[in-house]
Amino acid sequence: MDIVHTPALLEETVQYLGPRSGAELMIDATLGEGGHSFAFLSRFPGLRVIGIDADAGILAIARERLQVFGDRVRFYSLWSHDFFANPPHDAGRPDTILIDLGVSVYHYEKSGRGFSFRKDEDLDMRIDPSQGESAADLIGRLGEKELADLLYHNAGERYSRRIAGAIVEARRRGAIRRAAVLAGIVARAVPSGSAFHPATKTFQALRIAVNGELERLPSLLEDALKNLKAGGRMGIISFHSAEDRIVKRFFRDKSGASGNRDGVSGGSRDSTSRRDTPICRNRDHKAVRLLTRKAISPGEEERRANPPSRSARLRVVEKMYDEECAS
């Protein structure tokens, strides 16, 4: 078992989501190679974890890595919004939920699915390769304007029109089915000179589209919050601004914090301290309290030691009450 991903913002995640009582249940809704879960399970012997990942390949790695924890861990090979929309009856409601969005270093380095512009691999990019349309099929199907819009909206690519034009031009000569071929087309279409590879944003935008990452996020957040116990905490780590905007707005709406500079909702503090019984509140009360006023970013040291973490943003909320029992 070869672990290649270093968990982002690990200490901050432990600080906010570490158990407050001994026997808690955490759902790691984007398990990956299990880096966060491994640290939580090692440090908190009473903790149980449910680990979910839509990629069966990476889930197998996590399963092997976490087997030392025996029946303290259960695994689900699923999209996490599907899990939360219809949780197994015996799963139990979690005290904490961690959602570390996006893909793992494993996907770029080891999956062989064309996530990286540096590799000569099939241009697939599906997290779950058993369903949906590959990146190669997507760029073969979309019209030039749709492609340009996708690059601009998903990744803020400033040369979106030029790149879309170059892709459409190139595919007249034959389907673009390899990651390295696409990277070359993009590199020739835009001015060089940036510190990043010119295809960085194109690849990011396509991966987001192929996996429906922005479309899935609102229902994932909504259903995860419903699942969480009253008094429980939910932390989201996002890696690009479109994603972070959705998380930020969702938490703001749920906390009623817009215009409230300290970010704390109207609910009373003591309402979160009784953890065992559902806490019922009138609908006027806010569903969550923001535990992070601003998103937490990695410090200088982490960015140096783990460059893929550099764009990570962690936001954490505490659930104030169960909406199901509000009247």
Residues near ligand SAM (CB under 6 A) are 5, 7, 30, 32-36, 52-55, 58, 79-81, 100-104, 127, 216, 220
Whats the size of the chain, residue-wise? 327
Q: Which is nearer to ligand SAM, 100 or 124 (CB)?
A: 100
204, 155 in Cβ contact below 8 A?
Answer: yes
SS3 17: helix
In the bound complex, what is the minimum distance in angstroms from residue 111's beta carbon to ligand SAM?
A: 9
Q: How far is the CB of 79 from ligand SAM (least distance, A)?
A: 4
Contact criterion met (CB below 8 Å) for 288 and 251? yes
Q: Which is nearer to ligand SAM, 58 or 228 (CB)?
A: 58
Distance, in Å, from the CA atom of 224 to the CA atom of 81, rounded to the nearest integer, reads: 7
Q: Which is nearer to ligand SAM, 32 or 198 (CB)?
A: 32
Q: How far is the CB of 265 from ligand SAM (least distance, A)?
A: 27
Neighbour tally for 245: CB within 10 Å: 12
Which CB sits closer to ligand SAM, 219 or 273?
219
Quote the least distance from Cβ 77 to ligand SAM, whole Å.
9
Q: Are 128 and 55 in contact (CB under 8 A)?
A: yes
C-alpha angle 46-251-207 in degrees, rounded to nearest 5: 85
- Output 33 or 322, the one with its CB closest to ligand SAM: 33
Helix, strand, or coil (residue 28): strand
Q: Which is nearer to ligand SAM, 74 or 285 (CB)?
A: 74
User: Please, what is the minimum distance in Å from the beta carbon of residue 8 to ligand SAM?
Assistant: 7
Residues in Cβ contact with 39 at an 8 Å cutoff, skipping those fewer than 6 apart? 7, 10, 14
Minimum separation from the CB atom of position 123 to ligand SAM (A): 18
